[in-house]
Amino acid sequence: MPTILSHPAVPLAIGLALGSRIIPGRLLLAGVVASIVPDLDVIGMRLGIPYADQLGHRGASHSALFAIVLGLLAAGFAGQLRASRLAAFLFVAASAVSHGLLDMFTTGGMGVALAWPVSDARLFFPVRVIRVSPLSLKALLGARGMIVMISELLWVWLPAALAGLALYFATGKQGKARA
């Protein structure tokens, strides 16, 4: 997995590019949280749930269905998020599904159960360029963690920033900021 520090790159890029009129601050925060929440499944490892189990790491919580459920939950709280139900649903669901998609680019692990419960298959993209993050804090803070951070800067943050800039210019936001 990319670290929990890099999963928010996608909602931050989209939210900042679209601006606070479309993605208000509260919705942006909900998207950031939704991009991290799937990794709470690592708690299951401490509870004895095997990695390969459907409730294990990169299992059900990394699925498109899980992302849709989070999106529906956000739609139910759209008023508190200061967004329309559609914007809350789409942004939070996209933020959550981006987690599994990023994990599918990593160099390790067992793959992502993106289609759960329809399929238990664990998937990767054919190109796997993001160095997999260690699951322990000690390893993350060591030499291996530094390699992971550099990989995430190159393969997560840089593309997210470039995509965010492209979206920003494609939506014409730069002209409105000057007016």
In a 3-state reduction of DSSP, which class is residue 10?
helix
> pTM of the entire structure?
0.91
Whether 42 has a pLDDT exceeding 80, the answer reads yes
Would you state the structure tokens that stand for residue 141, as one six-digit string?
Answer: 């803070």
Residue with tokens 């669901």: 93
Stretch 104-125: mean pLDDT, rounded? 96
Mean pLDDT of the chain: 92
Banded pLDDT at 178 (limits 50, 70, 90):
very low
Greater pLDDT, 12 or 179: 12
Stretch 40-44: mean pLDDT, rounded? 93
Stretch 6-16: mean pLDDT, rounded? 97
Would you state the structure tokens that stand for residue 77, as one six-digit string?
Answer: 């709280």
Whether 162 has a pLDDT exceeding 90, the answer reads yes
